[in-house]
């Protein structure tokens, strides 16, 4: 019997299968197979917060296959991802498959390579219950917050809303930044630049750096008037060499920040592509077939294995030269509180150069792999040497300064540019300075004053929001992408280009949460809760201890809020746009409907004008649609009547809508008398076809039918026969009769039913 290896994803299963051979069968659980029920809380808060897990709906076939394969296997290895979530998935798998708790069946690997996978299979361990408990506590805590707070929002704001523990904090961060921006009052300030030339003729721009504050035009003009017509004098020259060290290899957080900044990827896209690179890509026979290209991408450790360091150093010496190597391998210190179970994100095999496998990767895979490869290699290289020079100038007691730098030795910058070095390169007044001596006169070419205003803090981007969350210990790196996706999908936050902006709904929710549940949206409280969840894994706390301490205060706040807050006190202001209604001149506002967001006139129902917008809220220009014009005019205003499709079928509407609201349903005479009153039966249209039949005298005559009436009479009872298109049969609809015959038609009659 073969050994069975269970992983989460099919692509990971394919990669591992290629390493293990015919004696192993590798199958995927496709993620979690058990979870808390969706319809109920699923947690017994009175009984030590005991969770009630059920098999996830729709996973029955997967569970059935897993049980079948497990029963036939000689050994079972649970090889889910090497983190809390992966440990929990393995624990659920063990429970469903009946694997004892003391069975050594759990295998983990930081990278999906042949050596790493085979080594892990040789050393299975028992499932780490402390890791599982930590994950369960987080899941239960988030479930309690979500299921208890959502009804509060339904009652006091509107139905369909939901709240989350970390998502609420993330929304608050963006809302408060928006408040800062709106309340910001710009302050005026001035700069004065002097363009001067040396005896050699070389020019340079010097900036005023004196003690006088230039807060107005008058201050700038006063400075200008104090400058003498004489040339500037060199008072001091300062030169220095500065060594710049490379940035460490990526963690999950820094990868998301840098890929957002450099590649323009959204966090969800970053993690999806990183997962693909980790699980394996087919590189062809030249590179050994399917290969996992990077180490595990959910980590906040900066640790690098000795083998990976040596491989990087060998590549650097060979590709760039010995001078690009530091004297000893670089070791980066992981910050306090970080999880150090895995290495930093790095290439699994640094000798696989990005340019050599570009054709085997998608564009996203190549760009992200190159970013990870470049950052890791640079992190093991020698520092860059920068020569800096500053020239202090004087004019009638007013101090000016010209500064610049040159790169004496590129070091790691030959591979990877950090944000700081890129910014230096973009600064126009950095570069070579002329050679001058102290006391030398420099000729004044021009002196230019410039007005400026202080700017408000910038809106958050995904990168800057992730940095804030990480710096403040809110959430975990693996949760950042789903947090951002969730608050956008709930319309608490919207994207505008790369920036994240709060919506009126998000502002109302945040205000309500701050008033009623200050702890839930408090930065320090949320960060401390992360530490408490970590303490379960570290065995310094228990699941019940953490949850009990939280729930006691939360339950009291919930009871108070439910009894004191009323929907009458909560108003969601409309989100105004810059689009002007062409009918009444009002500024249109954003609304949410069953088909998504749209623009509507705020004067509804007096003005019913609406406009379509895209997912970013930008106006979608209407394309000209040719519509069928009726052979009759509007009975109210005399305008043309055009065919439209609506909720209840096709109809004619006046072209002057919304000024004129006259409509008339489109019908077709099918040439059959009404079975009840003898008048005409007409077919009513929906989406271009007849789909329903009624008497033309409706509602005076109540005859209606999904089946098409015919002129035939039933041979058994004499009543009208009907044609049912969906089954191609003619029937008598008298239940006592039951006459039915199958039709053989070259062409079916128009119409039918929706049965």
User: Residues 18-38: what's their mean pLDDT?
Assistant: 91
Nearest to 679 by CA among 710, 714, 703: 703
Tokens in use for 501? 């902006």
The overall average pLDDT reported for the chain is: 88
What is the Cα–Cα distance from 163 to 490, expressed in whole angstroms? 9
Instruction: Give, in order, the Cα–Cα distances in Å from 287 to each of 22, 230, 357.
Output: 22, 70, 9
Q: How far apart are CA 524 and CA 630, in angstroms?
A: 67
Confidence of residue 647 (pLDDT cuts 50, 70, 90): low
pLDDT for the residue numbered 727: 77
Q: What is the CATH number of domain 188-245+384-453?
A: 2.70.20.10
pLDDT at 374 over 90: yes
All residues at 6 or more sequence positions from 388 whose CB lies less than 8 Å from its CB, including other chains:
239, 240, 241, 242, 403, 404, 405
Local confidence band at 364 (pLDDT 50, 70, 90 cut-offs)? very high
Which pLDDT belongs to residue 754? 29
Assess whether pLDDT exceeds 80 at residue 722: yes
- Model pLDDT for residues 172-202, shown as the tens digit of each residue: 999 999 999 999 999 999 999 999 999 888 8
Give the pLDDT confidence of 478-523 residue by residue, as tens digits: 889 999 999 998 889 988 888 999 998 999 999 999 989 999 999 9
Q: Residue holding tokens 């202090």?
A: 392
Q: For a pLDDT cut of 90, what percent of the chain falls above it?
A: 53
Who's near 124: CB < 8 A, 6+ residues apart?
A: 77, 104, 105, 106, 107
Over residues 143-150, the mean pLDDT reads 90
Q: How far is CA 99 from the centre of its chain?
A: 37
CA distance 336 to 531: 11
Burial of residue 220 (number of CB atoms within 10 Å: 0-12, 13-18, 19+): buried
pLDDT (mean) for 351-364:
94
| Cα–Cα dist 566/156, whole Å | 5
Gap between the Cα atoms of 746 and 731, Å rounded: 19
- Listed by start position, the domains of the chain span 3-127, 137-183+458-569, 188-245+384-453, 252-379, 575-612, 629-742
Q: Can you name the residues that pair with 204 across neighbouring β-strands?
A: 196
- At how many degrees (to 10) do helices 129-156 and 523-537 cross? 150
Q: Which of 499, 423, 417 is nearest to 456 (CA)?
A: 499
Give per-residue pLDDT as tens, 53-77: 999 988 899 999 999 999 999 999 9
Q: What is the pLDDT of residue 428?
A: 37
The class that CATH gives domain 137-183+458-569 is mainly alpha
Query: CB count, 10 Å around CB of 253?
Result: 23
What digits encode the pLDDT tens for the residues 410-465? Answer: 999 999 986 555 545 444 345 678 889 999 999 999 999 999 999 999 999 999 99
Q: State mean pLDDT over 727-750.
A: 71
The pLDDT assigned to 686 comes to 66
Distance, in Å, from the CA atom of 166 to the CA atom of 533, rounded to the nearest integer, reads: 13
Contact 291, 284 (CB under 8 A): no
Query: What confidence tens digit (pLDDT) does each residue in 1-11 have?
Result: 689 999 998 88
Instruction: Mention every residue, 6+ apart, whose C-beta is less than 8 A from residue 146.
Output: 162, 163, 164, 165
* Catalytic (active-site) positions: 296
pLDDT at residue 623 in the model: 56
Asked if the bond preceding 437 is cis, omega within 30° of 0, the reply is no
State the pLDDT at residue 563: 83
pTM, entire model: 0.76
pLDDT band at residue 688 under the 50/70/90 scheme: low
Q: What is the pLDDT of residue 751?
A: 37
Listed residue (502, 498, 533) closest to 170, CA to CA: 502
Q: Which residues contact 426 (CB under 8 A, 6 or more apart)?
A: none
The pLDDT value given to residue 335: 73
Greater model confidence, 750 or 672: 672
Token pair recorded at residue 700: 């005076």
Compute the C-alpha angle 304/306/309, nearest 5°.
70
| H-assigned helices in 184-251 | 217-226
What CATH number matches the domain at 252-379, 1.10.3720.10, 1.10.290.10, 2.40.110.10, 3.40.50.300? 1.10.290.10
The per-residue pLDDT for 138 is 93
The closest of 96, 105, 109 to 128, measured between CA atoms, is 105
Classify burial at 77, counting beta carbons within 10 Å of its beta carbon; exposed 0-12, middle 13-18, buried 19 or more: buried
Calculate mean pLDDT across residues 368-390: 95
- Over residues 196-210, the pLDDT tens digits come to 999 888 889 999 999
In this predicted structure, what is the pLDDT of residue 441? 92
**Arithmetic mean of pLDDT, 97-104:** 93
Among the listed residues 577, 615, 597, 611, the one whose alpha carbon sits nearest the alpha carbon of residue 497: 615
- In percent, the amount of the chain with pLDDT more than 70 equals 93
Q: Are 492 and 511 in contact (CB under 8 A)?
A: no
pLDDT higher than threshold 60 for residue 748:
no
Give the pLDDT confidence score for residue 419 in this predicted structure. 57
Q: What is the pLDDT of residues 79-88, one digit of tens each?
A: 999 888 999 9
Q: Are 438 and 234 spatial neighbours (Cβ–Cβ below 8 Å)?
A: yes
650 or 642: which leads in pLDDT: 642
Q: Which position has the higher pLDDT, 596 or 584?
A: 584
Bridge partners of residue 553, in order along the sequence = none
Using one digit for the tens of pLDDT, what is the confidence trace for 424-439?
544 434 567 888 999 9
* Interval 609-627 mean pLDDT: 73
Are the C-beta atoms of 607 and 613 separated by less than 8 Å?
A: no
Question: Which class does domain 3-127 fall in?
Answer: alpha beta
| Residues 6+ positions from 710 with CB-CB distance below 8 Å | 672, 720, 721, 722, 723, 730
What is the band of 744 on the pLDDT scale with cuts at 50, 70, 90? low
Confidence (pLDDT) at 77: 96
Longest dimension (CA), the chain: 123
C-beta separation of 157 from 149 below 8 A: no
Cβ pair 33, 56 in contact under 8 A = yes
Q: What is the mean pLDDT of residues 234-258?
A: 94
Query: Residue written as tokens 């323009």?
Result: 264
* pLDDT confidence of residue 571: 73
């Amino acid at each position: 019997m073969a050994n069975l290896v269970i992983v989460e994803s099919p692509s990971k299963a394919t990669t591992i299968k290629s390493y293990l051979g015919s004696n192993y069968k590798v199958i995927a659980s496709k993620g979690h197979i058990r979870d808390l029920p969706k319809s109920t809380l699923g947690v017994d808060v009175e009984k030590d917060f005991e969770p009630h897990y059920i098999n996830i709906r729709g996973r029955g076939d997967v569970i059935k296959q897993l049980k079948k394969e497990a029963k036939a296997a000689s050994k079972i290895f649970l090889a889910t991802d090497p983190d809390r979530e992966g440990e929990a998935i393995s624990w659920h798998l063990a429970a469903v498959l009946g694997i004892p708790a003391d069975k050594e069946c759990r295998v983990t690997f930081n990278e999906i390579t042949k050596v790493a996978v085979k080594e892990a299979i040789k050393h299975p361990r028992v499932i780490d219950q402390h890791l599982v408990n930590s994950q369960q506590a987080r899941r239960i805590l988030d479930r309690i917050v979500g299921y208890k707070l959502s009804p509060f929002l339904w009652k006091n704001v509107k139905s369909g809303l939901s709240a989350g523990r970390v998502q609420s904090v993330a929304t608050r961060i963006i809302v408060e930044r928006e408040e800062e921006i709106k309340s910001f009052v710009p302050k005026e300030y001035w700069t004065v630049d002097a363009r001067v030339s040396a005896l050699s003729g070389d020019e340079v721009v010097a900036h005023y750096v004196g003690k006088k504050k230039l807060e107005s035009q008058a201050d700038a003009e006063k400075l200008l008037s104090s400058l003498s017509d004489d040339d500037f004098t060199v008072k001091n020259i300062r030169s220095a060499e500065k060594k710049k060290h490379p940035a460490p290899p990526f963690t999950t957080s820094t990868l998301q920040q840098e890929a957002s900044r450099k590649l323009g990827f959204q966090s969800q896209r970053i993690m999806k592509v990183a997962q693909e690179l980790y699980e394996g890509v087919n590189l062809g026979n030249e590179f050994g077939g399917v290969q996992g290209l990077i180490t595990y991408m959910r980590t906040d450790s900066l640790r690098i294995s000795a083998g990976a360091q040596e491989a990087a150093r060998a590549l650097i010496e060979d590709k760039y030269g010995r001078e690009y190597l530091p004297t000893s391998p670089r070791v980066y210190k992981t910050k306090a509180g970080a999880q150090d179970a895995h290495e930093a994100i790095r290439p699994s095999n640094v000798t696989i150069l990005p340019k050599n496998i570009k054709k085997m990767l998608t564009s996203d895979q190549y760009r992200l792999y190159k970013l990870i490869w470049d950052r890791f290699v640079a992190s093991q290289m020698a520092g860059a040497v920068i020569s800096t020079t500053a020239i202090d100038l004087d004019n009638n007691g007013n101090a000016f300064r010209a500064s610049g730098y040159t790169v004496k030795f590129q070091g790691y910058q030959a591979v990877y540019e950090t944000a700081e070095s890129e910014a230096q390169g973009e600064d126009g007044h950095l570069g070579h300075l002329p050679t001058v001596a102290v006391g030398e006169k420099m000729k004044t070419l021009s002196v230019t004053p410039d007005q400026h205003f202080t700017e408000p803090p910038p809106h958050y981007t995904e990168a800057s929001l992730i940095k804030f969350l990480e710096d403040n210990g809110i959430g975990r790196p693996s949760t950042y992408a789903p947090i951002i996706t969730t608050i956008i999908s709930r319309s608490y936050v919207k994207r505008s280009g790369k920036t994240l902006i709060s919506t009126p709904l998000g502002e109302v929710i945040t205000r309500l949460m701050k008033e009623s549940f200050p702890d839930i949206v408090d930065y320090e409280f949320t960060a401390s809760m992360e530490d408490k969840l970590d303490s379960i894994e570290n065995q310094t706390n228990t699941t019940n201890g953490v949850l009990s301490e939280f729930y006691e205060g939360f339950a009291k706040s919930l009871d108070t809020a439910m009894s004191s807050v009323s929907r009458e006190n909560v108003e969601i202001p409309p989100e105004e746009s810059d689009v002007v209604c062409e009918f009444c001149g009002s500024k249109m506002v954003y609304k949410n409907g069953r088909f998504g967001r749209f623009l509507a006139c705020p004067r509804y129902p007096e003005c019913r004008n609406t406009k379509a917008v895209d997912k970013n809220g930008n106006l979608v220009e209407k394309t000209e649609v040719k519509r069928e014009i009726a052979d009759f005019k509007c009975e109210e205003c005399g305008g043309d009547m055009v065919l439209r499709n609506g909720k209840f079928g096709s109809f004619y509407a006046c072209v002057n809508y919304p000024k004129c609201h006259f409509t008339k349903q489109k019908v077709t005479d099918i040439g059959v008398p009404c079975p009840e009153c003898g008048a005409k039966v007409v077919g009513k249209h929906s989406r271009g076809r007849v789909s329903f039949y009624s008497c033309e005298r409706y509602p005076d005559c109540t005859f209606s039918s999904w089946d098409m009436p015919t002129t035939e009479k039933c041979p058994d009872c004499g009543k009208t026969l009907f044609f049912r298109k969906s089954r191609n049969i003619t029937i008598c609809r008298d239940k006592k009769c039951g006459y039915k015959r199958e039709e053989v038609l070259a062409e079916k009659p128009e119409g039918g039913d929706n049965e």
